[in-house]
Amino acid sequence: MELPEEYKKNYKYFLGSKIDLSLRPLIPRQETEYWVSLILKEIKEGSRCLDLFAGSGCIGVSILKNVKNTFCDFGEIDKNLLKQIEINLKGIESDRYKIIETDIFSNIPGKYDFILTNPPYVAINRTDEVSADVLEYEPHLALFSGDKGMDAIVKLIEDAHEHLNENGLLVIEHDESQKDDIEKLINRGGYSRYEFCKDYFNEYRFVKIYG
């Protein structure tokens, strides 16, 4: 089985930024790049952001490089990937970001205007739908999340409200099959409003949840 091309090169471009992949984080996907490009248009100068389940840090790096005077914290549980994020932040002023080792919100102290997340959301019983090279080479911690693929998303929606500023926005990438379950969680979570959005394949791929 062949090593993915991105790992051979040790990088992939994401919204104009060359993202180092030398420590083998999840390879950034086009679907993620698409929704991040849309959310960047909503982020204003001076916004305080959190890239949670940060992996390579591609989402937060894109914010810092594309929106002036923004601040972004990076939350990640994998110690190895904390180093990967640091590599990808080279050249960015150190007072504009912080890298935090955290299990979802366990070590996140503050509140944010934007929380952007690409959590693990593949159901364990759907491994047969994942391509062989992904299973072989990419980090399972970034892919799988319980029997329905919902474990991380459940915690996110239950706890994010406490970490959003007034009118703050939480964005979660998800699988289209999870839409109904996510909607039920949002409605129980005390959020003001939400919007499910489609990707360029016309599938529901991410949800915008307002605090």
- Per domain, the residue ranges of the chain are 5-210
Residue 208's pLDDT band, with cuts at 50, 70 and 90, is: very high
Mean per-residue pLDDT, 61-90: 97
Length of the chain: 211
CB neighbour list of residue 124: distance below 8 Å, 6 or more residues apart: 144, 146, 147, 149
Q: What is the pLDDT of residue 186?
A: 95
Average pLDDT over residues 95-101: 98
| pTM, two decimal places | 0.95
pLDDT tier for residue 100 given thresholds of 50, 70 and 90: very high
pLDDT at residue number 38: 97
d(C-alpha 49, C-alpha 163), whole Å: 11
Distance CA 19, CA 208 (A): 25
The average pLDDT across 91-99 equals: 97
Q: What is the pLDDT of residues 12-28, one digit of tens each?
A: 999 999 999 999 999 99
Instruction: Give the tens place of pLDDT for each residue, 113-143.
Output: 999 999 999 888 777 777 888 888 888 988 8
Q: Is the pLDDT of residue 192 over 80?
A: yes
- CATH superfamily of this structure's domain 5-210: Vaccinia Virus protein VP39 (3.40.50.150)
The pLDDT of 161-170, averaged and rounded, is 95
Q: Comparing C-alpha atoms, which of 141, 147, 137 is closest to residue 119?
A: 141
